[in-house]
Amino acid sequence: MNDFATAKPSKLIPVLIGGGAITAISIVPVLNAVNCACCAGVMGGAVLGVWFYKKSFPADMPFAVGDGVIVGTLSGLVAAPLVTLLQFLMLGFASTDFSFQLQDEIDRAFSQAESQATDPAAVEAARELVMQLASTPFLLFLVGLLFSLVIFVGFGALGGVIGGNIFKTKIIAPPPAAN
Amino acid sequence: MRWSRSGYLTLLAAALLWTGGFFAAPLLHGAGHDGVAIFGRMFYAPVCHQDAARSFALFGWPLSVCHRCASIYIVFTAVLLAYPLLRRRTFFVSLPLSRLAIFILPMLLDYVLDVLGVWNNGAISRAVSGSIAGAGLAVFTVPAWMEAWTARKRHHDADHKEVAE
């Protein structure tokens, strides 16, 4: 085994911090609008996790971009099920009138789509599809989880690349030897 | 500049899938598969406001993401496609964060000044500022991705060598 790999600090806390930050940004109303800018909230949360991970490194241990990518990806992986679950709870999944509330949410979303002069036939087709999904909450949860996993893991990894590139240990080339 | 064919192809495949994905919805609508098209749009809902009035249209149907997002992703993918030709250029050395901010600034100004009522942004300003941001993000992240990928391969090869010994 590589000594460097085994000696590296634990990723658990930074990943939980990154995942928690992504979850908070994605769940809190108004704040979650940040994700409308190419998932900036997800990338920001991943960068935060990478920053915490970098802080746990001893001064003499080099921090590489790859360390950032791993922390960012894992942060997204932690956040995806949390966000999906919390969104379901916020929709009233746990309450007895879940289907009523969900119907209300869907109606509101589709009224908005109709007001934007989208083709009525397409809106109706979509409504049917969503209502089919909504009739089986578990299936709806699985679809939501699948979407979240792809998006959060992908943008988490991208945030990890960005964070890793910001916080990586810069190797300064030695000055050329004088002749 | 570090280079890994497998690392490049992995990133390129992801970028092409993502970018192709938001072009799929209008094509599917055109082919009469409205249900699948809307399902595809739902996939992009968490990453974009998807306002039809602020989105490019294809065959009369809006793309799954807005002007700004589409420009970021398209230019990012275009720079990535050109990366094998450009990677030896001096500017393609991983961009410092301060310079990345310069690439993002036009997009931020376009948004903030519009919110403040100082400037009315339009499709062109959103597309141009988004394209600049997409180019900056690609120049910032692609070399870093290559660095991470090649380091991972070096560690992997070193581990295998130790096991063989």
From first to last of its 165 residues, chain B has per-residue pLDDT tens of 678 889 999 999 999 999 999 999 889 888 878 778 887 888 898 888 888 889 999 988 889 999 999 999 999 999 999 999 888 877 677 677 888 889 999 999 999 999 899 989 899 999 999 999 999 999 989 989 998 898 876 666 666 665 555
* pLDDT recorded at residue A90: 78
Q: Where are the alpha helices (DSSP H) in chain A?
A: 3-7, 12-27, 40-55, 65-90, 98-115, 120-134, 137-167
* Contact call for residues B62 and B52 (beta carbons, < 8 A): yes
Rounded CA-CA distance A39/A93 in Å is 25
Given the cut 0.85, state whether the ipTM is greater than it: no
Chain mean pLDDT for chain A: 81
In 3D space, the residue among A67, A77, A71, A74 whose CA is nearest the CA of residue A7 turns out to be A67
* pLDDT recorded at residue B35: 74
* pLDDT recorded at residue B3: 83
Q: Do A154 and B158 touch (CB under 8 A)?
A: no
Q: Cβ atoms within 10 A of the Cβ of A160, count?
A: 32
Positive/negative CA dihedral, A35, A37, A43, A47: negative
Residue A107 vs residue A80, higher pLDDT: A80
Residues 6+ apart with CB under 8 A from A127: A106, A110
Of A1, A38, A65, nearest to B69 by CB-CB distance is A38
Question: For A62-84, what is each residue's pLDDT tens digit?
Answer: 999 999 999 999 999 999 999 99
* pLDDT recorded at residue B158: 65
Of A5, A129, A155, nearest to B39 by CB-CB distance is A129
Rounded CA-CA distance A147/B118 in Å is 37
Query: Touching check for A100 and chain B: CB below 8 Å?
Result: no
Of B43, B140, B148, nearest to A69 by CB-CB distance is B148
Q: Do A129 and B38 touch (CB under 8 A)?
A: yes
Q: Do B155 and A5 touch (CB under 8 A)?
A: yes
CA distance B85 to chain A (A): 22
* Contact call for residues A12 and A56 (beta carbons, < 8 A): no
Q: Could you tell me the two tokens for A44?
A: 């920001």
Average pLDDT, integer, range A117-131: 69
* pLDDT recorded at residue A96: 54
Q: Could you tell me the two tokens for B144?
A: 């870093």
Rounded CA-CA distance B138/B78 in Å is 9
Q: How far is CA B143 from the centre of its chain?
A: 14
* Contact call for residues A42 and A12 (beta carbons, < 8 A): no
pLDDT-derived band of residue A36, with 50, 70 and 90 as boundaries? confident
Query: Touching check for A119 and chain B: CB below 8 Å?
Result: yes
Rounded CA-CA distance A142/A72 in Å is 23
Rounded CA-CA distance A92/A65 in Å is 41
Q: How far is CA B28 from the centre of its chain?
A: 22
pLDDT value at A99 more than 60: no
Residue A73 sits at the vertex; the CA angle it makes with A72 and A78, to the nearest 5 degrees, is: 95
* pLDDT recorded at residue B164: 55
Residue B63 sits at the vertex; the CA angle it makes with B58 and B67, to the nearest 5 degrees, is: 105
- The position carrying tokens 């992997």 is B156
Residue A133 sits at the vertex; the CA angle it makes with A131 and A138, to the nearest 5 degrees, is: 135
Nearest chain A alpha carbon to B137 = A162
Query: Touching check for B151 and chain A: CB below 8 Å?
Result: yes
Interface residue of B16, B28, B38, B69 to substitute, partner A, most A CBs within 10 Å: B38
Query: Touching check for B13 and chain A: CB below 8 Å?
Result: no
Rg (CA), chain B: 19
Q: Cβ atoms within 10 A of the Cβ of B103, count?
A: 20
* pLDDT recorded at residue A106: 65
* pLDDT recorded at residue A1: 44
* pLDDT recorded at residue A93: 56
pLDDT value at A6 more than 60: no
